Amino acid sequence: MNTRGDNCEPHRPAHPRIFTMCEAGKSDHHSAERCVDFPVSVVLPAGGTGERTGLQTPKQFCTFLGRPLISYTIQAFESIPWIQSIVVAVAKENMDLMTDIIQRFKHRKVRAVPGGSTRHRSICNGVLALGEEERPAVGRPKVVIIHDAVRPFVEEDFLYKIAMAAKEQGAAGAIRPLVSTVIATTSEGYLDHSLERAKYRASEMPQGFTYDVISQAYQRCSESDFEFGTECLHLALQYCGTNAKLIEGPPTLWKVTYKRDLAAAESIIKETLSRSACVITGGLAEAVNLADALRKAVGALDMELDIVPDLMGDNARCLLKEWNFIQVSVSHSCLSEVEAILVALEAENRALLHPVVVIWVHFSRTDELPVSERAPTAIMELASTAKHRNILIYGIQLKQSEHWERSASRVAEIASALIRERSPALVGQLLQA
């Protein structure tokens, strides 16, 4: 029996309660196409310092669009109905920060526990916390998914495969093809031999284990495992005789490790938020024509437009699925329609997890004056207050001309750039198409 490091206390008896989600009155634990009839919990090791990024802030707490990386990972798991609970293991000095993040972004099903001086010790603390679960609604899991907190792009389909394989085999893990060949070096720094790359795979996350296997593996493993090990699948094999099922995962499973990975992660998040937009026309003919022309133009920019006259009735669905809104106002320069969008977005608390973009396109007929002199000030004032609520307002002014398609194309280019970048620097600006 080893002496576990860093708060990894001896194993305690689990809750006797048996819990099968599908028998629990067909609750929301059924995803549309699958049923998981056993409790699944998650351990997110997040106790590292991220030295390889070269940054002072541990990478799991680096922010993207105003939100820490770990919040994106938590959200990916908490949005899955068949996951009953999430434990995040963080360094003691980050416990308050983690608690604030959970509260600020209204994360559910998740609690923070102290991590350890190594990844295995952090994971072990998380697994033990699952065994000591006191919340009445949460029983001891049948399956524990372990996933690095710095791998935010995890998909339900693959997690389902890992969870089901772990339940059947006792352990399962994600693998990916090797990009580089693995070589062994001599103590003098020369090539000793190289491995035949086709025979090897990179071990990634998520991994899944039955609670019994992973808790037993940590009870039996050595201090050297705790101190130097990096592979939970190895512990399951060595200490429980459980040979993990290996499942090739999607390329999105990569781990944020270096500074460049932070830039890559932010780019992926922005791209995900920029795939579509809702255009509100008010039903006016010129606005509808502009919207139709915009749809063609943004289509070429790989963005879809949903065109609606307003956000009432069935159209209110846009408030729950869109991150980008384009309000087309013809002639009048007042921002009342934009203000109405803000009220609707706030009623849905839509900007809690991601900044929402609202673009006011002011379209003036040829025989009219451009927007009133007050408009630039008005949009800046409105944008300044909205920004504090994570809503980014931008303006585009368009004067009707005979080159209709060209004007629409120009608006599309500007709107697409504003949506993709979500730049705080341009908030409140009235740009000229």
Please give the residue ranges that form the binding site for ligand A1H0Z (CB under 6 A).
119, 148, 203-205, 230-232, 255, 257
Choose which of 40, 42, 43, 60 interacts with ligand CTP (CB under 6 A).
60
- Smaller CB separation from ligand A1H0Z, 257 or 390: 257
Query: What is the closest distance, in whole angstroms, from the C-beta atom of residue 173 to ligand A1H0Z in the complex?
Result: 7
When CB distances are held under 5 to 8 angstroms depending on the partner's kind, the choice from ligand CTP, ligand A1H0Z, none that residue 230 binds is ligand A1H0Z
**Per-residue x/- marks for ligand CTP, 214-253, CB under 6 A?**
----------------------------------------
Three-state SS at 175? strand
> Across-strand partners of 287?
none
Token representation of residue 103? 């509260």
Rounded CA gap, 206 and 153, in Å?
11
The enclosing H or E element of 291 equals: helix 285-299
Counting contacts by CB under 6 A, is residue 315 touching ligand CTP?
no
Counting contacts by CB under 6 A, is residue 71 touching ligand CTP?
no
Please list the helix, strand and coil fractions of the chain in percent, rounded to the nearest 5, in that order.
Answer: 40, 25, 40
> Got the DSSP string for 194-253?
E--GGG-EEEEEEEEEEHHHHHHHHHH--HHHHHH---HHHHHHHHH---PEEEEPPGGG
Counting contacts by CB under 6 A, is residue 2 touching ligand CTP?
no
Query: What is the closest distance, in whole angstroms, from the C-beta atom of residue 231 to ligand A1H0Z in the complex?
Result: 5
Rounded CA gap, 411 and 296, in Å?
12
Query: What is the closest distance, in whole angstroms, from the C-beta atom of residue 317 to ligand CTP in the complex?
Result: 36
Query: What is the closest distance, in whole angstroms, from the C-beta atom of residue 220 to ligand A1H0Z in the complex?
Result: 18
Choose which of 2, 31, 203, 257 interacts with ligand CTP (CB under 6 A).
257
Rounded CA gap, 359 and 280, in Å?
10
Choose which of 8, 38, 41, 50 interacts with ligand CTP (CB under 6 A).
50
Contact, 306 vs 325, CB < 8 A? no
Stretch touching ligand CTP by CB under 6 A, among 114-122, 333-341, 360-368, 395-403: 114-122
What number of H helices and E strands is found in the chain? Answer: 13, 19
Rounded CA gap, 426 and 433, in Å?
15
User: Which residues contribute to the site for ligand CTP (CB under 6 A)?
Assistant: 45-52, 58, 60, 89, 115-119, 122, 148-150, 255, 257
